[in-house]
Structure 1
């Protein structure tokens, strides 16, 4: 009968850190990875083995077997520790502007522009004609004014910063009048009233949740009023018995009382997509033409560019913002300048922009083409996974995401995957840990894949990932 080894004896079998580092497989990795990562991986492996022994689990009965187990865990730890935290993900959710997955994808020209800025020096703040210092905003200001019809433009790091900067500059210490139904909460429990407080402006709510009239604003105007604000409720809708004051009505009031009017569009449109079955949304050009003095919107939502907060409007107000010390704190870097300029240039030819800007291309994708793509991928998956899962197709809807167009339902065709030998939760976990990671939807014990957000060339990776993650459960 084999003698049972006590946990205390097994603990003495655990090797020292230096001994593990001398193992050929581990030593080889020291040339490719920082020593600190390798040492940390070894220590974590030893700690894991120590806990297993104390739990009474078998990790071997000889020094060699225990060492092998430590090495195996170490190698797995190194793989996890050496892997970058920011990793590529295949988005098969059908949510085009998926906030958790980085929102808008950059088009090819924007990617090239970022690479140019990353691999060499640029004239970020130099006027190459005069040889003197220039403005980092010059590359994007001119094209923004051309596209929107505004007198001037400024770009900061995101739209929350744009709103904060505009409110603080134009109405710091003064009252800002806004409809109660427009006091929205944007991402991460970040609310318009909170931004207002931070800016130093004083919030004055008027109207009711569902109805606000021009007379409500008018009655609230006092000698302390600094700004009339309209906030586009891009991330929710109030339907039914409603009435909102239009930008034209606010502009009329602003002119009557000599007050600036600001419109925060949130997700700014530069092209009208209502022809493609999407809800009608005000474009930046329409709001500027309607007389708004200042308009703010995001660069990484429906515009389809990098994260940025874009401010366009009357030159006298934009110039004031440029002089605000906060502008330097929230300014954009050279990568944002490069990506945004390249993205904006696509809009000079709107029809080409629909093809070249990934966000617009996905939002306007033809449902019949999506059905063809889904059918083709489903056939390949069926052949590849064999009896590990049942593959099917069903009609469904994609979403815009990013807090934009919450009521929009984009018709699509979904691939359904019903795993036979592992649970849906386990399959989705394995896919998240796959390299590259892959995210889909879950419903009725099935994994749903929406090809609307699957990029060209990712189909083969999806097939490999699904097969790898289904195997081992049979």
Structure 2
């Protein structure tokens, strides 16, 4: 492994930040690698591969149909384009034509976040126009409903730790409003772990990342009602062409979903147990105070939360952790409050020791 890093001039990375796109998201299993290899070594009729793999996933997920896409972001853009075009082949070739005026996509204001790119960029790429509902710290069903008009194409709900969590309507709330006005509800659940929940709560289309909770390759999938999925699939001949996914990652994603449904992901309790000795070691380091905390969005994910003494800022420690090889990446969302979080889902015991050793070096200088 070291020779590979040396050959290409790359820096080894310890990913204690979570399933982050900037670090390649997640590691894949041997079974996923085997599926990708099979895909890479064989030819397929790509249109048929897309349909058949979607049908296979649909049976596993108990939905009408599934379209595999290159990423969750592509899923947003292609889903928006699909709902606007409604199966029109003219729209596929002219996605931004002014003859279509029904382009408004209603989004709770607290969901219009930057997750690596702004949500509204993906909506606009799909030809939609974002209309915000509610306020940054509140969106009720009434706020959502009052924004619906004759130009409303869809409602988009972002289920993510990036979004505002307090005083926000639920997916079920949004689904009731959507059905009342016969407007499709799209849920972006990119990193969410439950592959059944949001369809069961009334969403028409749900988007997942293949590389996050499921630890698959760079890929995504849109699941939901048959007619809507057909419209999404049609986008492969339009804007989806620039977002196409290869045969190896299609097969790898299907294997990852199957494995995930069979074995699940690491439980919160397992994370807690692995974190306990790590946190004890952190608390032996001068000017650091550590505890185990749950994910702020309520997911079954536990992390080490480390408070840095005032003599050295959390931002300075974060920067120093990245400097050496291996570069150690952490969750930086609370750095302005003097807190660093360590997500250990992709961190083994040997890497935890490297983190401890590096923090001891850094904190000696305080």
Q: Using structure 2 for the length normalisation, give the TM-score.
A: 0.71
Partner of 1:159: 72
Correspondence 1:327 to 2:240: yes
Contact 1:143–1:345 at 8 Å: present in 2 too? no
Match of residue 136, structure 2, among 192, 203, 209? 209
Using CA pairs below 8 Å that are at least 6 residues apart, which structure has the higher relative contact order? 2
Partner of 1:291: 202
- Residues 397 and 112 (structure 1 numbering): CA distance in 2 closer, same or farther, change over 3 Å? farther
| Cα drift, residue 372 of structure 1 | 5.2
Distance in 2 between the 1:413 and 1:200 partners?
41
Distance in 2 between the 1:374 and 1:207 partners?
40
Partner-residue secondary structure (3-state), 2:245: coil
Match of residue 108, structure 1, among 30, 36, 40? 30
- Residues 257 and 369 (structure 1 numbering): CA distance in 2 closer, same or farther, change over 3 Å? closer
Partner-residue secondary structure (3-state), 1:83: helix
Distance in 1 between the 2:49 and 2:71 partners?
19
- Residues 81 and 101 (structure 1 numbering): CA distance in 2 closer, same or farther, change over 3 Å? closer
Task: Say what the alpha-carbon RMSD is for the aligned residues.
Answer: 4.2
Partner of 2:311: none
Deviations 1:258-285 (A, max 9, x none): 3222112232323xxxxxxxxxxxxx31
Correspondence 1:186 to 2:115: yes
| Cα drift, residue 319 of structure 1 | 0.4
Partner of 2:49: 135
Structure 2: gaps (5+ residues) = 86-99, 307-316
| Cα drift, residue 178 of structure 1 | 2.2
How many residues are matched? 322
Distance in 2 between the 1:251 and 1:430 partners?
46
Distance in 2 between the 1:161 and 1:136 partners?
15
Distance in 1 between the 2:298 and 2:173 partners?
26
Structure 1: gaps (5+ residues) = 1-78, 127-132, 271-283, 355-359, 379-389, 415-423
Partner of 1:122: 42
Contact 2:272–2:292 at 8 Å: present in 1 too? no
Partner of 2:218: 307
Partner of 1:365: 270
| Cα drift, residue 218 of structure 1 | 3.1
Deviations 1:96-147 (A, max 9, x none): 32443222111232133234444xx225437xxxxxx7223523x2343234
- Residues 87 and 202 (structure 1 numbering): CA distance in 2 closer, same or farther, change over 3 Å? same
Match of residue 410, structure 1, among 294, 299, 302? 302
- Residues 306 and 184 (structure 1 numbering): CA distance in 2 closer, same or farther, change over 3 Å? same
Contact 1:147–1:285 at 8 Å: present in 2 too? no
Contact 1:154–1:312 at 8 Å: present in 2 too? yes
Match of residue 84, structure 1, among 1, 4, 8? 8
| Cα drift, residue 216 of structure 1 | 3.1
Distance in 1 between the 2:303 and 2:318 partners?
26
Deviations 1:280-323 (A, max 9, x none): xxxx3121012211111222222322222321111101101211
Task: Return the index of the structure with the highest Cα Rg.
Answer: 1
Contact 1:137–1:337 at 8 Å: present in 2 too? no
